[in-house]
Structures are given as C-alpha cells and as structure tokens.
Structure 1
C-alpha cells in the first residue's frame, strides 16, 4: 500500500551557488558517508558531473522527506538518507541511525528515480508499507 509520494525539482545553478558559498561543508551536510566518496571522486574527474550528482541527491532527499511526511525534521536528516546504486545501477534509498529504525518500525519501503537535464535535477519517491506494523 502506498503511504506517501514525494517529488522535487532542483535548480543545479542554485546548488552550485551554495557550494561556492559554503564549500565542501555543504556537501558534507547533505550527503551520507557513501555518497560523499562518490561525489568527491566524480568532482575530481569532472566538476559538472560532481555538481549534478549533488543536485540529484539533494532533490531525492527532499522528495523522500515529503513522501514520509516529516519534511526536514527528526528523525529525518540529510545525511541519514542516502541514494546508492544497486548492482544493476538502479538508485535505491539507504537509511541510517534513528531514521532507519523509524522507517523499519513502520515496515516501509522506498522507491526512487532521479534525472537531470540542463540546469535542472529531479527526483520522485514512492513509499509503501510492505505489511501492517
């Protein structure tokens, strides 16, 4: 049963401006431990790819927070939610700490899709309950 749907559209230029002002601290606030390594690697190879990666993850976390109905308040926090790739490349949500516990107690499962084109990045998240709590 679907319990929440969230979407977010993010202007990549806005992420670039924030990154310019705040530096790597901004990425460290938004990205989880696995994501930060991927972001650093992509940024070293191609700054634009790194920026788009950060923007899509930002959009995904916004969409996820909407889908679970919490917004950005505890137990939801940026780096407690990661978007990682499954072995075949499909993006999936990985949660940490209190957020993972909160999510598991409710027997929830999240599905995410990401895209970026030009100056825009978008994410769509569906959260479903796998069985009654």
Structure 2
C-alpha cells in the first residue's frame, strides 16, 4: 500500500506483523486495498446500534446512527466520527478517479466515499465501506 502523503500512522506494523494478526481475506482488503464482493459482508444489512471500529487497529470510525440503506451491497455511512478518524486520498487504480477512505490511525484501506448521488442524508456523501474492514461493538440503545 502506498503511503499517505504528509501523514504518519499512529499504529505502525510490518507486513509480517499484519499478516500474523489478520486473516488472508482481511489482509487483502485492509492492507492491499482489495474489495470484498457485494452483499456478502456481515454488516451490509445490520441494524445493530453501536460503534464501528477498524478491524486492524480498533480505532473508532463510524457510529450506527450514520449508517443508511444505500442498496449498493456494502455498508454505507453518511459521515465518519469527527476529527482525523479517517483519511481520504485520490485513487486512480481502476482508470477513473475515486476517493479512497483509510483508517486515520493505521492507514488501512476501508473503502471509498462518493458524493452527489442524491441520497437523502445530511451530507449527501456515501462512505461505502467493506464489512471486513470493520468490527461492530454494540452499545445499549436504552
């Protein structure tokens, strides 16, 4: 994975260390910017209230209150948590220009963000995130 210009991850591990901690599928997405197939992720349709964390380092990234049904095959959020929880960078890997979303703590690949698609959300953004990049910690909604 190419480094993020001007940013140093707070969690730094060698490729061997990441491979020891992550499954091959998790490593392929989180560390090699892969994409899981649509409609197979464990969080695509979940309505559980909680906090979504980076599966690689445990950093809190999104809250369930910002998750919405985009019907795209991956979990979608209209906003990450405040601050530098995620980092955005230009991605030209498929011939076009997309905006890649990385964990602000360990710089693992999470997915992509899209704007102007017309979803009825407060930000008009869709953070399209791989389920395998996340871990949901449920919270007591009552």
Higher relative contact order (CA 8 A, sep 6+): 1
Pairwise TM-score range, normalised by the shorter structure: under 0.3
Normalised TM-score (structure 2): 0.26
More helix by share: 1
Normalised TM-score (structure 1): 0.27
